[in-house]
Amino acid sequence: MQVEGSSAIVFGGASGLGEASARRLHEHGARVTIADLNEDKGGALADELGDEASFVKTDVTNADEVEAAVAAAAEAEGGLHINVCCAGVGWAEKLAGKRGPHQLQPFETVISINLIGTFNALRFAAVAMLGNDPNAEGERGVCVNTASAAAYDGQIGQLAYSASKGGIVGMTLPAARDLSSSGIRVVTIAPGLFNTPLFALLPQEAREALGATVPFPNRLGEPPEFAQLVQSVVENPMLNGEVIRLDGALRMAPR
């Protein structure tokens, strides 16, 4: 699937990995719909990108809003071709401790945003892509999900986050198999430690210490490197049903 001339939607596209993905796809000729809860950042990014970029306020846990955002993106000539979901949140809490058991509400919130939100984006985007004319390879669309190295190497206090990202990993192959007869690919990227807005809140020394745990390159990943892989996934027709770790050979320690 060529990025140039395609229509793309990026959930969580107003900041971090999603923003980098939206910028990369737009730079390489895609019409990009930025779907995010943050109206200020999302609208500003769409204005900055200019032509062939738009913003739709979207809560990924709200099925109606996700469906409406996908419909808006699919209005472009040729329909919707690329779906990227980067929307997500984290939470730090141990399973049990002096304060009692892990709270249920934060666990439900993380699962709802990270896992159910990804499911919403995937299911509505796939339906929209079914109506596309296939290209020469028989492709109608590509869906790129975002998991995390924490799906495999969850640290102390990452129970909710790891469970949500593990769910995304588990959805990848069956989703790809479900859509294979329609020429729609599904791939998940599992990033390690990346220099996102969450890490920007930490002191410089703390960021450098985290980066030093990555074998090579010995630093935090940068969002444009994630976006580069998104483009590669879109353009390589043999990438399907796979989870790709993007972590510099990092295997996270317990804490």
Pick the catalytic residue from 55, 161, 194, 226.
161
| One-letter amino acid for residue 13 of the chain | G
Ordered strands of the 184-191 beta sheet? 53-57, 31-36, 7-11, 82-85, 141-146, 184-191, 243-246
Contact call for residues 146 and 191 (beta carbons, < 8 A): yes
Q: CA torsion, points 171, 172, 173, 174, in degrees to nearest 10?
A: 40
DSSP string, 136-165: TTS--EEEEEE--THHHHPPTTBHHHHHHH
39-49 vs 16-27: helix axis angle to the nearest 10? 20
DSSP string, 98-128: TTEEPPHHHHHHHIIIIIIHHHHHHHHHHHH
**Dihedral sign, CA of 220, 218, 225, 186?**
negative
Asked whether the bond before 224 is cis by omega within 30 degrees of 0, the reply is: no
152 catalytic per annotation: no
Residues 6+ apart with CB under 8 A from 176: 185, 186, 187, 240, 241
| 145 phi and psi angles, rounded to 5 deg | -100, 165
Catalytic residues, which ones? 161
